[in-house]
């Protein structure tokens, strides 16, 4: 009995330590992924996306792949690519099945404090798409800049991600098609599972706010309220999230619908 208690305690310490290194790791946010130095984190996801414009619908399947590497204790580099499968498109918008432009991101620690009772960290990041594919929009990139903050009091986790993106920024015109500010807050709590010695369950609640400012037309604000669940082991994380869309735009404009995100994370 004593040996089981010791093993269970050691496992809890290992999993909590792994969680402290994975800062600002909301399920819907990639920029928060932070592997330890010389470790590689791979995230595979499936996203079922529904958008609407008036009475018409766009339904897509997105399959993003993210690889993050801990270059130093304070610096992380990350590459993301995704395949988009358009199931139905009843609108006049032109969308096809294709790989999206790869995205490269670098993140650096700005502040971190670890105590016996809590951990607090802040990191800044900058990234951009790379228009290297044949179907890339010519002479455009989508740069992004942002800040992650994480707070870990005990078994609780609070992760805040703020970013600003210039979508399809044209270097010649010096103008983006859309400028997007996005804020994501993820709240979760680790629950130890005595019957499964290698796993922890973590219910998640995310809140997202998105402000779109197009170069032409009116700006609009939307968001998501997203309950989710994670199962965590030392080298594998299984995650799921249901995003409930909240829109304030008119029915004639493009509106985000509810989304489902399922994913796996591997730590090497």
> Which architecture does CATH list for 2-267?
Beta Barrel (2.40)
Q: Which among 236, 230, 199, 184 has a CA at the least distance from the CA of 42? A: 236
Question: What per-residue confidence (pLDDT) applies to 25?
Answer: 58
Q: Where are the beta strands (DSSP E) in 90-199?
A: 98-99, 103-114, 118-129, 140-141, 144-153, 156-167, 169-170, 178-189, 191-192
Q: Is 21 helix (H, G, I), strand (E, B) or coil?
A: helix
Question: What per-residue confidence (pLDDT) applies to 48?
Answer: 96
Q: Is 69 exposed, middle or buried (0-12, 13-18, 19+ CB in 10 A)?
A: middle
Question: What per-residue confidence (pLDDT) applies to 22?
Answer: 38
Is 59 within 8 Å of 185 (Cβ atoms)? no
Render the burial of 100-127: b for 16+ CB within 10 Å, e for the rest: bbbbebebebeeeeeeeeebbbbbebeb
Question: What per-residue confidence (pLDDT) applies to 16?
Answer: 37
Question: What per-residue confidence (pLDDT) applies to 249?
Answer: 58
Question: What per-residue confidence (pLDDT) applies to 94?
Answer: 75
**Contacts of 195 by beta carbon, 8 Å cutoff, 6+ apart:** none
Question: What per-residue confidence (pLDDT) applies to 88?
Answer: 85
Question: What per-residue confidence (pLDDT) applies to 14?
Answer: 37
pLDDT tens per residue, range 5-59: 444 333 333 333 333 333 335 788 888 888 999 999 999 999 999 988 777 888 9
Question: What per-residue confidence (pLDDT) applies to 28?
Answer: 87
The mean pLDDT values, 10 residues at a time, for the chain of 268 residues are: 43 37 64 90 96 83 97 97 90 82 97 95 96 77 96 95 95 88 96 87 96 87 95 94 83 79 95
pTM score above 0.95: no
Bridge pairing between strands 75-89 and 236-247: unpaired
């Amino acid at each position: 009995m004593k040996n089981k208690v010791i093993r269970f305690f050691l496992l809890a310490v290992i999993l909590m330590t792994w969680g402290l290194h994975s800062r600002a790791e909301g399920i819907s946010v990639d920029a928060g992924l932070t592997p330890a130095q010389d470790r590689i984190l791979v995230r595979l996801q499936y996203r079922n996306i529904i958008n609407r414009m008036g009475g018409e619908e766009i339904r897509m399947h997105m399959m993003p792949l993210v690889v993050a590497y801990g270059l130093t204790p304070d610096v992380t580099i990350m590459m993301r690519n995704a395949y988009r499968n358009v199931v139905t498109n009843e609108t006049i918008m032109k969308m096809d099945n294709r790989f999206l432009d790869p995205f490269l991101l670098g993140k650096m620690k700005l502040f971190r404090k670890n105590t016996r009772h809590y951990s607090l960290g802040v990191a800044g990041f900058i990234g951009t798409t790379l228009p290297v594919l044949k179907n890339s929009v010519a002479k455009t990139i989508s740069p992004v800049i942002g800040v992650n903050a994480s707070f870990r009091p005990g078994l609780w986790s609070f992760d805040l991600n703020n970013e600003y993106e210039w979508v399809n920024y044209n270097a010649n015109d010096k103008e983006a098609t859309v400028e997007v500010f996005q804020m994501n807050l993820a709240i979760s709590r680790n629950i130890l599972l005595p019957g499964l010695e290698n796993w922890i369950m973590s219910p998640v609640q995310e809140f997202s706010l998105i402000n779109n400012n197009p170069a032409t037309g009116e700006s609009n604000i939307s968001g998501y309220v997203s309950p989710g669940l994670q199962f965590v082991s030392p080298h594998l994380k299984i995650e799921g999230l249901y995003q409930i869309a909240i829109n304030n735009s008119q029915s004639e404009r493009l509106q985000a619908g509810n989304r489902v995100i399922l994913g796996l994370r591997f730590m090497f």
